[in-house]
Structure 1
Amino acid sequence: MSNLNRQKIVESVPQKGFFGHPKGLFTLFFTEFWERFSYYGMRAILVFYMYYEVTKGGLGMDKTLALSIMSIYGSLVYMSGIIGGWLADRVFGTSKAVFYGGIFIMFGHIVLAIPGSVTMFFISMVLIVLGTGLLKPNVSSVVGELYSEQDNRRDAGFTIFVMGINMGAFISPLLVGAVMGYSFHIGFGIAAVGMFLGLVIFMLTKKKNLGLAGTIVANPMSPAEKKKTFTIFGLSVVVIAIICAILIPQGLLTFKGFVNLVTILGVLIPTIYFVVMYRSPKTTAVERSRILAYIPLFIASVMFWSIQEQGSTILANYADERTQLDFAGIHISPAWFQSLNPLFIIIFAPIFAWMWVKLGKRQPSIPQKFSFALFFAGISFLVILLPAYFGGSDAMVNPLWLVLSYLICVFGELSLSPVGLSATTKLAPAAFSAQTMSLWFLSNAAAQALNAQVVRFYTPETEMMYFGVIGGASIVLGLILLMLSPKIQGYMKGVR
């Protein structure tokens, strides 16, 4: 997207009207609020739905398999952002991508809400993966379009946006977790209603609040390119379907093989993306330097999300089987722990936003903030190994240990997530704006693809080593990044 188009977009958006920010932030705040309400409500009970016995309303899957599926599902959700970002950049723009994605997500949750088989479960996963790939990276890209590159409100705006995400993510596990004991399908139905409300808000307010934001296709294809691309895409779908139809009945394409394939893709796809963007003739010399600066930030993000995303797998299982769920006179649903992360973000996001604005040019650089995030993430895992150290792996754990672990990890997330979103919009090459946002979410995809392998090593017997090794690795990587921060900052060519 040219600088002229960027300026036209900013001028078309009402710049005052939502806590001192552009009016469009209201539309995107509540669209993403309801989308995250639906996603995190579903996710809070999904792993339990998979491994709970059929007599308890679950699918009766093996527990280790369920944890791996959860990680692979999370990886594919973010990996599909590549498709969503490409379609937005080359075909129909980010605004339409957000709308189409919301439709897919809503229908995915409706399918989950209908009692059915494992086949229905996987159909719903496909719909939600495709929908999130269209919506998630593109709604964040539209937020970036509301501000000029020199606007000091940008980081604070993204922090407010992330707070909206977490308000939806806080409320939904409480509601869905409360009905989990009655019916998983009621919970999934609540998630579908949430996505519907998000679509309604987006359609009713986008014209007035967003102006041209999300409507300009950054790098449109010519008619000849469209014909060639969609022909290749159609043939690829047919070939993949034929291969699966042949290999699956013969037992040659197993779930373990699929997990390994996704893990490889989780590393390979972002690597290819960095190479393509760096070598593209549409990328300027300054943009190439910024891409090099982005690589260590991406690696740090993979390490951080590898720990943070285990809140819906290892820590969810830990809450279900290792934690005292009768506490202070109430019975705690294990799904309610999924609300801790967004609750703490709601509390502390305004403080972090105020702190960055107050510090102004004296605030830590982007690489330094990322290194702090790795320190906090590592400490959060070291904290959770302490109960086993003091009381053994058989004793039930006070739930406050989990609360403390989530709290510490949130400090890391607030140092990385909104900062990473903002940095991505500033470091992205103009011709790859939405796709670079997809690349940011690929760090989460890579993290969860790796987690699909890692979670198999977790058992009550290996608990201390599991948390200790991963937590220690994060702290070491944080130290390395902190030492390299001045060098990385130089490659950013003026971006702070």
Structure 2
Amino acid sequence: MSDERGGGERDTPEDRTRRTGAVPFDPAVPPPHAEEDSTRVVPRDHAFFGHPLGLLTLFGTELWERFSYYGMRAILLYFLTDTIANGGLGLPDDVGNAVVAAYGASVYLLSVVGGWLADRMIGARRSVLYGGVVIAAGHVSLSVPDTRFSFAGIVLVALGTGLLKPNVSSMVGDLYARDDPRRDSAFSIFYMGINIGSLLAPILVGVAREIGGYHAGFAVAAVGMAIALVFFVAGRRLLAGAGEVPPNPLTRADRAGVVRLVLLVALGALVALAIAAVVSGGFEVTTYVDALSYIALAAPVATFWVMFRSPKVTAPERSRLRAYVPLFVAAMLFWMIFEQAASTLSAYAQDHTELEIFGHTVSPAFFQSVNPAAIILLAPVFAWLWVRLDDRPPTAVKFAIGLTFAALSFLFLAGAAAIAGDGRSPWWVLVVVYVIQTVGELCLSPVGLAATTLLAPRAFKGQAMALWFLATSAGNAITAQLVQVTADASPPAYFGGIGLVALVCAGAMFAVAPWVTRHIREGADAA
């Protein structure tokens, strides 16, 4: 699933300091309060498959939180676009798709904020706890059969996920000493929990929706989040203080800079909203969707601009940063296609796909379980393959291959839609689409964060980590705009057009891969 985009990032307090960009990281200078953090006793027990019991706490928390997240996401589009008589909100299809894409963009934007808050103010544990409570409140709001609660619920889930998502995995790293050989195995177990939750959620929530309507489905997601909170609160003592102390807390000298940053971000958000209001001619649902899209697209551009112009960036670092730009574009386009699982692909499942499989009728939400199932099956194969190939091909080529598979998935779907015409495609068409995208994900995702850390300027390690997450946010923002301007396009035209453009971009990525690879190697040598 998308949660594995870091390729199993092994977060430590120092890593998180670099990721959030609080201060340039110097390994020779301990972060503030490092002494207090170093006194924490790292768990030594082996009670959970050879790992500390604290891993069980985080495994269960993430499994059920992902269950709630992907369960809600599996039926969100249907809820937004179904008629009011059927319990939906009655939004036009293009607006519903845009809202879902904007929701995805906001989650990754807010994840950057959540990581910063944990690192500098409240610590990872409180961030996870507060985020979980907000998510649960959002699911409960969505389960109330009153439209006034619906958008509030969506906003609450996005806010809570932004707090929780980047921090629960960092706590896994805190359970182990830096040289503990069990760290890799721990993250493998942890990510298995992610995929179990995301595999079961669309199936069970989809069934609940079929039986009791949308609000019953959201109630099931709320139960999942409640179980996650029980795991987390009950298992606090097993965490041995992991995530309790912010690794780089704010000092008095930092406050003026933080205030300026907050004011600047608020001003940018107001400008984006004003522009969106002028473009749409008022304040509609699409106004807020467009404003969020502008912010999500502007954030990485601003980050690149600051990095390139900074006097702290040396000429060799600036050269390596230029090599990162095509990787970022490729990742953005990949996630733009991949993240449409919750929007356009969900719509295709409901409106253009046969839902009878071997004599049994399934919910259209069922197809969103294909990706985590494929991850569980294929991830060990790819892990073995990269070892056999000695980690070849190079990173840039893997990016190009990943984007190629994403493009081919949409081209395949366009062809299947054209063959189906006014009828419905066989159920296996979408299964093939999701499997193709999963292969692409396994090529691109695990190496993305590693390339980011290698090519980022030393003074901007934290912002570069944020930049990697902003690729997904920007991809969702592009989708939010595309679905509105192509509202009248047929499925073959829509999927085929995006697939062709992505395929051309993949070809360009193959062309520049030798140049990017050379810069990556120079970055590794410099490091």
Partners of 1:203 and 1:465 lie apart in 2 by 50
* Cα deviation 1:210-251 (Å, max 9, x = unaligned): x5653453443223533774598589879989x989x98x96
Determine helix, strand or coil for the equivalent of 1:180. helix
Aligned mate of 2:521, from 474, 490, 495: 490
| 8 Å Cα contact 1:38/1:195 also seen in 2 | yes
Determine helix, strand or coil for the equivalent of 1:61. coil
Partners of 1:235 and 1:79 lie apart in 2 by 16
Partners of 1:30 and 1:492 lie apart in 2 by 38
Determine helix, strand or coil for the equivalent of 1:67. helix
Pairs within 5 Å for 1:360-399: 361-391=390-420, 393-399=421-427
Residue of structure 2 equivalent to 1:125: 154
> Are the structure 2 counterparts of residues 44 and 328 from structure 1 closer, same or farther at C-alpha, using a change threshold of 3 Å?
same
Shift of 1:374: 0.9
Shift of 1:368: 3.0
Partners of 2:356 and 2:374 lie apart in 1 by 22
Partners of 2:300 and 2:320 lie apart in 1 by 16
Residue of structure 2 equivalent to 1:108: 138
> Are the structure 2 counterparts of residues 238 and 465 from structure 1 closer, same or farther at C-alpha, using a change threshold of 3 Å?
closer
Partners of 1:437 and 1:21 lie apart in 2 by 28
The reply on whether 1:351 has 2:381 as its aligned counterpart is: yes
Aligned mate of 2:166, from 114, 127, 137: 137
Match for 1:173: what amino acid?
A: P
Shift of 1:122: 1.4
Aligned mate of 1:443, from 471, 482, 504: 471
Unpaired runs of at least 5, structure 1: none
- Single out whichever of 287-296 and 103-112 deviates more from structure 2: 287-296
* Cα deviation 1:355-408 (Å, max 9, x = unaligned): 44x3384443333332221121111111111223334x2121101111111111
Residue of structure 2 equivalent to 1:170: 199
> Are the structure 2 counterparts of residues 38 and 315 from structure 1 closer, same or farther at C-alpha, using a change threshold of 3 Å?
same
Residue of structure 1 equivalent to 2:501: 473
Residue of structure 2 equivalent to 1:318: 348
* Cα deviation 1:441-469 (Å, max 9, x = unaligned): 22111111110111235568532232222
Determine helix, strand or coil for the equivalent of 2:524. coil
Match for 2:523: what amino acid?
A: M
Aligned mate of 1:208, from 213, 235, 238: 238
* Cα deviation 1:93-125 (Å, max 9, x = unaligned): 3332222211111111111111111x3111112
Partners of 2:228 and 2:318 lie apart in 1 by 37
Shift of 1:155: 6.9
Shift of 1:173: 0.8
Pairs within 5 Å for 1:41-120: 41-117=71-147, 119-120=148-149
| 8 Å Cα contact 2:273/2:291 also seen in 1 | no
- Single out whichever of 221-230 and 344-353 deviates more from structure 2: 221-230
| 8 Å Cα contact 2:455/2:520 also seen in 1 | no
Aligned mate of 1:333, from 334, 346, 363: 363
Match for 1:476: what amino acid?
A: V
| 8 Å Cα contact 1:89/1:435 also seen in 2 | no
Alignment root-mean-square deviation, CA? 3.9
| 8 Å Cα contact 1:85/1:434 also seen in 2 | no
* Cα deviation 1:461-494 (Å, max 9, x = unaligned): 5322322222223233333334244224225325
| 8 Å Cα contact 1:377/1:408 also seen in 2 | yes
Match for 1:223: what amino acid?
A: R
The TM-score normalised by the length of structure 2 is 0.80
| 8 Å Cα contact 1:259/1:452 also seen in 2 | yes
Partners of 2:497 and 2:268 lie apart in 1 by 42
The reply on whether 1:220 has 2:256 as its aligned counterpart is: no
Match for 1:61: what amino acid?
A: L
* Cα deviation 1:155-210 (Å, max 9, x = unaligned): 7765554432221111011111001122211111111121222223233445534x
- Single out whichever of 14-23 and 213-222 deviates more from structure 2: 14-23
Identity of aligned residues (%): 41
Unpaired runs of at least 5, structure 2: 1-13, 15-25
Residue of structure 1 equivalent to 2:70: 40
Partners of 1:109 and 1:240 lie apart in 2 by 26
Match for 1:455: what amino acid?
A: V
Count, aligned residues? 491
Match for 2:404: what amino acid?
A: F
